[in-house]
């Protein structure tokens, strides 16, 4: 079963706009990671945020983590058509020693 749930399931925006995706999870975690998957391809790691961190930046990506609410958000600024993909959050729990993925958000950036 999947631990995380992404919201929204699908998001369509114009190029240049910002895209925000949310993730909620159920159990305590060591870290939370965001991955991107282009159609028919493997997953690409975007960013990892540890449980003792609240915010992290990488280029046009900004991730926040609220462990009290068991939620995270991924913000992509100044989106590009090439950002069109599915985005997944994944949680790592040391006791389980596995990455548990959510169901994903399908982002479409219109040129």
Q: Strands of 26-97 (E only): list them.
A: 31-37, 43-50, 55-58, 61-66, 71-76, 85-93
Site string for another protein, 53-82 (x = CB under 8 A): ------------------------------
Q: Indicate which single residue of 13, 48, 61, 75 sits in contact with another protein (rule: CB under 8 A).
A: 48
Cα 30 to Cα 106: distance, rounded to the nearest angstrom: 26
Site string for another protein, 2-21 (x = CB under 8 A): x-x-----------------
Cα 52 to Cα 49: distance, rounded to the nearest angstrom: 8
Q: Does 102 contact another protein by CB under 8 A?
A: yes
């Amino acid at each position: 079963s999947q631990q995380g749930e992404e919201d929204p399931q699908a998001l369509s925006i114009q190029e240049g706009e910002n895209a925000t995706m949310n993730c909620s999870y159920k159990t305590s975690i060591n870290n939370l990671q965001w991955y991107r998957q282009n159609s028919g391809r493997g997953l690409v790691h975007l960013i990892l945020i540890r449980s003792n961190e609240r915010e992290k930046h990488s280029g046009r990506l900004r991730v926040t983590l609220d462990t009290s609410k068991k939620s995270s958000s991924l913000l992509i600024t100044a989106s590009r058509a090439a950002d069109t993909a599915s985005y997944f959050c994944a949680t790592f729990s040391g006791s389980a020693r596995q990455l548990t993925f959510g169901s994903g958000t399908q982002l479409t950036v219109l040129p």
